[in-house]
Amino acid sequence: MTSNVQVFGSAIAIRQEDLEIIHQETNNSFPAQINSWQYAGSRLLVNCEVQNKNSNSKTIIFVETDRFADFSVSKNIFIAYDPSRLHVIPRGE
């Protein structure tokens, strides 16, 4: 079966260890809410939910952080990123 669907534009990717949970908004951050967290060896893996701006859907993002960090489920936070660590992936032309 052949698909005639073409996807244009780009996707942006970043490694979860290049994200940081912060408590105040910055120019390079976006709002999120903590769903849960779990120990992952010497780090914590934090499950965060982000509201999509153009729809009612939400996106789940996992952020690695220091295992001694103190997080509460349902807490509103911000996820910071370094723009130089973003990877732009072309999705077709």
The string of DSSP letters for the chain reads --------SEEEE--GGGEEEESS--TTEEEEEEEEEEEETTEEEEEEEEE-TTSS-EEEEEEEEETT----TT-EEEEEE-GGG-EEEE---
Q: Residue 70 belongs to what domain range?
A: 31-82
Location of structure tokens 């965060």:
48
Strands 10-13 and 43-51: unpaired
52 assigned to some structural domain: yes
45 assigned to some structural domain: yes
87 assigned to some structural domain: no
26 assigned to some structural domain: no
Q: How many domains does the chain have?
A: 1
13 assigned to some structural domain: no
50 assigned to some structural domain: yes
pLDDT for position 29: 96
pLDDT for position 10: 79
46 assigned to some structural domain: yes
59 assigned to some structural domain: yes
d(CA 71, CA 34): 8
d(CA 81, CA 6): 30
Per-residue pLDDT in tens (0 to 9) along the chain, 93 residues: 455 555 567 788 998 889 999 999 999 999 999 999 999 888 899 999 999 888 889 999 999 998 888 889 999 999 999 999 999 888 765
pTM for the model stands at 0.80
